[in-house]
Structure 1
Amino acid sequence: MITKLDEIFLKNFKDFPYNNNLISAEVLFKAFNNEEDLKNKKILGSKIYSEFMQSIETFGILLYSIKNRKNSSIFERFVKSRFNEKEYFEEATLSFNGADPDELARLLDLPSIADLTPEYNPEEIKGIKKLYTSIASTIYGAAKINRTLSSQHSEKRNDLSSIDKEDICMLINIYKGSNDYSGEGAIAVNAYNKIKHGYNSLEDKNVYRKLSAALKDQGIPDVETFTIPLSEIKNLMEGIKSITTCAKTLAQYMLFIKDKITY
């Protein structure tokens, strides 16, 4: 049976705090769509990307906390957790079978369909199977996005002038030698941290050209960039909505089967 502490936490989680990224992103997206100045549009777009990465972080921590609730509580794990994509999302993409409704049970150490069948009527079990598959698919989708963002949007460059004028572009790392790497961890997360703490964003092609020449003069032959086309911002918004809905649904489901949860 779920603990009273976790019951209070999950009820609050589904009703209030996890909406914060979606509410913020919707306000930013409205401003983004109404903005005509390209520079301002890039700033708003980068903030929406930041909200997207925050929603993945929180989602990952929730999943990790549910998975590792034993000898503790979901609440305690959640409060103490620090996001590390390899800690959960990498595991979530391994041996994934979207057609298997018990995938969610494996991912989060929840009761299997077989465990639940004697406890609920056939219609309820049918709904639980559908829910298990849907949540597992969203987890896999979030894991895939988290992984592919780094590979699809980052590039080691010695010339910045090829960057499209409508790309949001951030400098992530610099390279001065074959073994010189200035950053660690997932590039998509690095870009998110740059937005939060440093904002190493470049303005336009004129800046790209000047910076390319200045880097060479300074003895820095290569830089690593992370770029997001403005056309991708709508997809990031859809991702935030999907992850938010999934997290709230998962919290609601945990409360629905609270008598079947073990620690």
Structure 2
Amino acid sequence: MVKIASWNVNSIKTRLPNVLDWLDTAAPDVLLLQELKCQTADFPEMEFTARGYNALAVGQKSYNGVAVLSRDAIRDPLQALPGDPDDTQARYLEVTTCGLRVASIYLPNGNPTGTGKFDYKLAWMQRLTEHARAILAEEWTLVLGGDYNVIPEPLDCHDPGAWTGDALFQPATRAAFRGLLNLGYLEAYRALHAAQPGAYTFWDYQGGAWPADEGIRIDHLLLSPQAADRLEACEIDRDPRGKDRPSDHTPIWCSLTE
């Protein structure tokens, strides 16, 4: 079995004790991290190496940033999403490890709508779709995991009406996400928990969202057909969100049979 997890940590420096604790208890083979908020040189690689993980990060000062931790060697990295050589935001890292091809994705938020930020989000999603189509042809056992900043369906938020004007729930955003799935990818959580309510991965720091369980599900694991054939389990681990100084996201993981 191979266990692959994804977690937007909202600052690796602030959240490092929580991440190390979760690695010790959950023991994933691969952990995809997003929103590092540090430059590549400042990523705490040694702390992960001490726990038996290889690490590769693509950082950016104060913003964005993605990383892959793995118990196996990390090979053949692609450190930016193809399609726009002028895009310098650190949002995509794809590697080969544990016999898989995996990508850590931090998709743009896109708010406020009606601005260039939303245009950038949709353009980024189009580039992701084009790349996801191309790598399907390689017939990898492939996992595209991360913070997609997409609420796929009304079921995936506590109050759909409250999100009507938000970039994460716009019809164009949701259609672009469905376009990814229509290429032949399986959304691992919903494949195994088709109508499960309250399955959230993000709770805002404001307004008592966590105690009231007013969350949204925006962190996803998309599997190629070769990975989907091996899917055994997929769960959201809510425990880290209740820790001291938590990220506003919590990990999602899936396991694939050998």
TM-score (norm 2): 0.23
Q: Which one has a larger percent helix, Structure 1 or Structure 2? A: 1
Q: Which has the higher contact order (CA 8 A, sep 6+)?
A: 1
Larger radius of gyration: 1
